[in-house]
Amino acid sequence: MKPMLKDRIAVVTGAGNGIGRAHAISMARHGAKVVVNDIGTSTDGVGTSNGPADKVVSEIIAGGGTAVPNYDSVATEDGANRIIDTAVREFGRIDILVNNAGVVREPRDIDEVSFNDWDVVLKTHLYGMFFTLRRACSYMKKQKYGRVVNTASHTAFGWRGFADYSAAKEGIVGLTRTVARDVADFGITVNAIRPIAAWRGTKENIPLVAANRPEDVASLVTYLVSEEAGNTNGQIFEVWKGHVGIFVDPPPVKEILKNEKGWTTEELAELIPNTLAKGLTATIFPEIIHWD
């Protein structure tokens, strides 16, 4: 196997289990020195433990790789800064950042979502990604090199009961595209993934998710953080059981109503039901997962 990340320094947040663990192990196998970040919390963000990060570090070292643990939370500015600074302190620089840390709360309709749930989910996913990106890019810009992959989700397309999670994950898409443009001139790429794969919070009765291994996602991410992917920036990827694709967002307009003079409300009320909205219903949504 050709080591695609030899001597590169990587930080993977939420790397104690599932997809994050797979990222860390894959990158280490390809020669990267890895900061394995995980606070060891439950899927809903309760409690902490050093165990998950320590276990992954031990696996990497046992396999001949190099890794150190970090137990800070991405949800605070100071914690996120310490995560990135661990790479610089231990290994002298940071070349790769994979933002994977996250929590999820029980699905609820919007009128039942508590402020605490909303706050915890957005702070962990969206604020956390802002904090780590800002710190990492400050180093990467000086180096004139860097690779970042952010973790978004299919949930943001509108899975019922996940308003907090969807808001955070789709915010990550916009953040990714904008930061990619901000740092492109410094040799840095910033991409995102919308993965479908089993993780520690996956219900066993969801075959769609369970069929995809975290390692399948890690293969793509390991490529995206390599030098070979230098021409790929600001893209949103999907990976599911052998399927890899790039999203075109927003989707192309299928049909257009055009009138140079503009439309009245009455005209649109007559035209739209038989054109743009033809066949739509209030409760049935189009397929959102692409795996052909």
Catalytic residues: 165
Q: Which pair of tokens denotes residue 129?
A: 């990604």
| Euclidean distance between CA atoms 161 and 158, whole angstroms | 9
Cα-to-chain-centroid distance, residue 38: 15
- Interior angle at CA 211, CA 206 and CA 214, nearest 5: 110
- In angstroms, the Cα distances linking 93 to 62, 140, 158, 187 are 24, 8, 39, 15
List the 96-99 sheet strands across, edge first. 66-70, 33-37, 9-12, 96-99, 146-151, 188-195, 236-240, 243-246
**CB 146 within 8 Å of CB 186:** yes
| Euclidean distance between CA atoms 71 and 74, whole angstroms | 10
> First and final CA of the chain: distance in angstroms?
29
| Euclidean distance between CA atoms 156 and 173, whole angstroms | 10
Three-state DSSP class for 236? strand
